[in-house]
Amino acid sequence: MLYREAGQFKASYATDQQIFPIRQDRIAVAALTALAFVIVPLVADQYWLSAILIPFLIFALAAVGLNILTGYAGQLSLGTAAFMAVGAFGAWNFVLRVPGMPLLVAFALGGICAALVGIVFGLPSLRIKGFYLAVATLAAQFFVVWALTKFNWFSNYSTSGVITTQRMEILGFAFDTPRAKYFLTLTVVVVLALAAKNMVRSSIGRAWMAIRDMDVAAEVIGIPMLRTKLLAFAISSFYAGVAGALYAYCYLGTVEPEGFNLDLSFKILFMIILGGVGSILGSFLGAGFIVLLPIFLNTVARPLENLLGLSLPPGLMSNLELIVFGGLIIFFLIVEPHGLARLWQITKEKLRLWPFPH
């Protein structure tokens, strides 16, 4: 009853093609955005903002990027962290070396650097697919981290390759509190996520999905393989790059190339698998899940520890966390291989009929 599109008539093509065709969806999205922009900054404390919400948004952005490539265009990638690194170091170098470089432009340029690197490593995708491609993207992962560590021009000749981000200022307003950083991250993420949502339902998104479902068939019906695949790599890497820049500027402040290792790539891959492959919403759900899970495990373990009156050694704790994390991933894959986004879809269908059974 609550979630029912009955009575919502579409009288023009414009209303038929709008991004959220159902009124309840529009209300929900507007409410969520308002919540994120107004209520959250008012209630959330420093810890929530800088340890949970900001990384959640950044990872969600990276996951959206990977989802474009893997979920929509069907090209499995294990090199997301490398593209994030390119974005982070790119943006940092632009701010460092170009006087008066506006921050957001630097972010975008960092993203474009990542996109270019993405195109280079996406080239093999024209010949290979599946796991062969996944291993090829590993080449990007290892090569980029190596290059950033080895050639310390990228980190302005700091001995360890570590960079500390500059002070952030846009139009004279300094972004130095967690709240301000949250606003900046949120704005970038919302804009890019909306762009992605629109992209995947435009002709290019349909071309990606055609290639994902069967590339030979797609080529036969006239979709340019080279352009479409490379565009997927470029846009996905752009998203990852911007996410990387935000990761460096708004979340950590100090990053080193080694921080963008394979583990991070896997983490983002987990996000889209658990959230839902081929779903923008799923990227957010998955990111939330992966960010919250370790925190949740910790909060559960502490009282449990006190309750049982034993103090676990920290090594044991981290191993248990590893086991639970891996176990949960397997569990989720078994019970819901299509991810959290699918659960949400099922909920929507139930809501449509509720409170009637049929």
Partner 1 sequence: MSFFFEVLIGGLLSGVMYSLVALGFVLIYKASGVFNFAQGSLVFFAALTFVGLREHGFNSALALLATLGVMIVLGLLIERIVLRPLVNQPQITLFMATIGLSFVIEGFAQLLWGANVRGLELGIQDEPIEQITTYTGMNVSKFDLSAAGIAALLVTGLALFFSRTRIGRALRAVADDHQAALAVGIPLQQIWGIVWAVAGFVALVAGLLWGARNGVQFALTFVALKALPVLIVGGFESIPGAIVGGLIVGASEKLAEVYLGPYVGGGIEGWFPYVLALVFLLFRPEGLFGEKHIDRV
- Residue of the chain from 6, 42, 171, 220 that contacts partner 1 (CB under 8 A): 220
Q: 128 in helix, strand or coil?
A: coil
Q: Which span sits near partner 1 by CB under 8 A: 13-21, 202-210, 283-291, 312-320?
A: 312-320
Q: Which is nearer to partner 1, 325 or 344 (CB)?
A: 325
8 Å CB contact between 163 and 94: no
Q: Which span sits near partner 1 by CB under 8 A: 7-15, 163-171, 216-224, 285-293?
A: 216-224
Buried b (16+ CB within 10 A) or exposed e, 95-109: beeeeebebbebbbb
- Residue of the chain from 269, 280, 285, 340 that contacts partner 1 (CB under 8 A): 269
Determine, following the binding rule CB under 8 A, whether residue 337 of this chain makes contact with partner 1.
Answer: yes
Determine, following the binding rule CB under 8 A, whether residue 346 of this chain makes contact with partner 1.
Answer: no
Q: What Å distances lie between residue 341 and 105, 271, 323, CA to CA?
A: 33, 11, 24
- Residue of the chain from 17, 38, 39, 146 that contacts partner 1 (CB under 8 A): 146
8 Å CB contact between 148 and 160: no
Closest CA to 54 of 172, 177, 143, 145: 177
- Residue of the chain from 47, 131, 296, 354 that contacts partner 1 (CB under 8 A): 131
8 Å CB contact between 256 and 122: no
Q: 164 in helix, strand or coil?
A: strand
In this structure, the chain runs to a length of 358
Q: How far is the CB of 209 from partner 1 (least distance, A)?
A: 15
- Residue of the chain from 3, 37, 48, 143 that contacts partner 1 (CB under 8 A): 143
Q: How far is the CB of 291 from partner 1 (least distance, A)?
A: 17
Q: Which is nearer to partner 1, 154 or 249 (CB)?
A: 154
Q: What Å distances lie between residue 263 and 177, 309, 316, 325, CA to CA?
A: 29, 34, 20, 13
Give me the residues that bind partner 1 (CB under 8 A), please.
Answer: 70, 76, 124, 127-128, 130-132, 134-136, 138-139, 142-143, 146, 150-151, 214-217, 220, 262, 266, 269-270, 273, 277, 315-316, 319-323, 325-330, 333-334, 337
